Structure 1
């Protein structure tokens, strides 16, 4: 099945969040073409700042597999992940992230930061101290060792903009409605 198919499923989950008054974001985890985890935004209703759609979907998938690692899995989410969710995605070793709308305020898959692409082209030079056999307090420096700077230990493949229009429209309508309600409450 296509990325668009799974993103439409994630949009259905986002609409569930919206019915609860939550920011409409939905996510799912797919392994070998099978949806193994589902989640939608629920930090307000659950009184849990970590209850983002991605976190819910990762938890659901991990419970089903009986393992917090999700190698070979793809996470589909209607909004570009934030830093917290990207950290969980890395720890779970998700192979691929597919998101819908970019998030120009907190997105870390390229909009604000590019966490999954954090490989520095600079090189890091390291002097390794070596302890001599004569005295544990005496150290000598080995020759310089140069390494490429790889800032993070897991890099998921990222595909952004899948059904971005639909995903973005759902969010913009939600926030427009919320602003209208706030104006009415002030009047």
Structure 2
């Protein structure tokens, strides 16, 4: 946002492998991102379709369009393989 000279990113989209956590979902709301696309759902730590469901809260400042489960199997495998290689 700072590089664009604006405090918010209303014309930007975010693409991530894993469902954003509650802290990231709140930052997404504050930044006013237009859309969020993610691959794998995160039942334990997610904050969009699981957990506190940040964008559904009455205190949420902005609700982006959310598209989850895109390439879910591949995204989950990518994450498992990566973290498995660290162990």
Deviation at 1:175, TM superposition (A): 2.4
Whose strand proportion is higher, 1 or 2? 1
4+ residue runs over 3 A deviation? none
SS at match of 1:77: strand
Map 1:1-187 onto structure 2 (within 5 A): 62-118=1-57, 150-179=58-87
TM superposition shift of 1:63: 3.3
Deviation of 1:161 after TM superposition, in Å, equals: 0.8
C-alpha deviations, 1:28-50, integer Å up to 9, x for none?
A: xxxxxxxxxxxxxxxxxxxxxxx
- Asked if 2 retains the 8 angstrom alpha-carbon contact of 1:116 and 1:158, the reply is no
Q: Could you tell me how far apart the structure 1 residues matched to 2:71 and 2:2 are?
A: 28
Structure scoring higher RCO (CA < 8 A, sep ≥ 6) equals 2
What SS does structure 2 have at the residue aligned with 1:64?
Answer: coil
Which runs of 5 or more structure 2 residues have no equivalent in the other structure? Answer: none
Structure 2 contact 21–45 (Cα < 8 Å) conserved: yes
Counterparts of 1:63 and 1:166 in 2: how far apart (Å)?
33
TM-score (norm 2): 0.85
Higher radius of gyration, 1 or 2: 1
Aligned residues: 87
Any stretches of 5+ residues in structure 1 without a counterpart? 1-61, 119-149, 180-187
Contact 2:22 2:53 in 1 (8 A): no
Q: TM-score, normalised by structure 1?
A: 0.43
